[in-house]
Amino acid sequence: MPKKIIFMGTPEFSIPALNSLIESKKEIIAVYSQPPNKSHRGQTENPSAIEKFAKENSLNVRTPKNLDSETEFNYFKNLNPDLVIVVAYGKIIPKRYLSLPNYGFINIHASLLPKWRGAAPMQRSIMNLDTETGISIMKIVEQLDAGPVMHQVKVKIDTNTSTKKLSSMLSKLGAKSMIECIKKIENNKTMFKEQDHSKASYAKKISKGESRIKWEESAKKILAKINALNPNPGAWFEYKNNRYKIWQAKISQDKGNVGHTLDDKLTIACGDNSIQILEIQKEGKNKLLLDKFLIGNQIKEGQKID
């Protein structure tokens, strides 16, 4: 029976799972997270969401830069964990760690494996116009996200689903499912199913160049990009040497010259149909709903948007 648990996670997505462990009175012997990020000028350090949450709950926190060091490996080994839970930790677990816990490493992954292994499964799923995704709870092996799956739950994706919304939904769903899986492990009722590796696809990290909107694409693809890149890094365009990020939009059936405004309400023609912007942010300014934005930023009909 797993008594001593190590938790490994970094972003806000990981918090519901750690909180569920705390609420279920599990013995959390350590929490691992990525090291704090330094501010642009290097004057201050910004701890991860998990580091802050763990310290608020008086947990033992580790933020090593390198898991491969002998010092860190021996520290981890001497903790003698029964089970390690990994949720968006953001680092590859070295092979020699994987055999240390009695019940292995269990990972909550935000896709229906083997689809969308890798760093950006939610973003890639939305950008790909998938109609469903979900969470997979799987055993970590040496190959990236290739371990056998213990549990999966599906959710629907529609044209209103942003990564921000999906992340909140899947983090809570993953936390609930994780507790159920731990109970199965405790009762020796675990069943792991090997993935069909021939059906694997990879969700590579979003590159800077991808976030620029290409108006020649279909309205559906552009809206999917806007949704996928909300809250980070944001899909953007340029107008008169200023960059604008679109945070919310909807599809319009209006048509016209690709990349041009079709009215005074920021409806912009795409490769087919168009999108109407609902929430926008000018570089260096705050996010604004369209009506408020247009008070001080008139972009008239017929303007070329880059």
Same CATH fold assignment for domains 4-199 and 209-296 = no
Strand partners for 304? 260
Q: What is the mean pLDDT of the chain?
A: 96
Given the DSSP bridges, would you call strands 45-46 and 37-38 parallel, antiparallel or unpaired?
Answer: antiparallel
Q: Residue 1: its pLDDT value, please?
A: 66
Q: Residue 42: its pLDDT value, please?
A: 62
Strand partners for 6? 30, 84
Round to whole Å and give the CA distance between 246 and 89. Answer: 29
Q: Treating both helix axes as pointing N-terminal to C-terminal, what angle do 15-23 and 49-56 enclose, rounded to 10 degrees?
A: 20
- Domain positions in the chain are 4-199, 209-296
Tell me the pLDDT tens digit for each residue of 56-105: 999 999 999 999 999 999 999 999 999 999 999 999 999 999 999 999 99
Mean pLDDT of 188-213: 96
Decide if domain 209-296 falls under CATH 3.40.30.10. Answer: no
Round to whole Å and give the CA distance between 288 and 167. Answer: 22
Looking at the predicted structure, is the pLDDT value of residue 43 above 90? no
Grouping H, G, I as helix, E, B as strand and the rest as coil, residue 168 is: helix
pTM of the model: 0.95
Looking at the predicted structure, is the pLDDT value of residue 40 above 70? no
Residue 78's CB: how many other CB atoms inside 10 A? 7
CATH topology of domain 4-199: Rossmann fold (3.40.50)
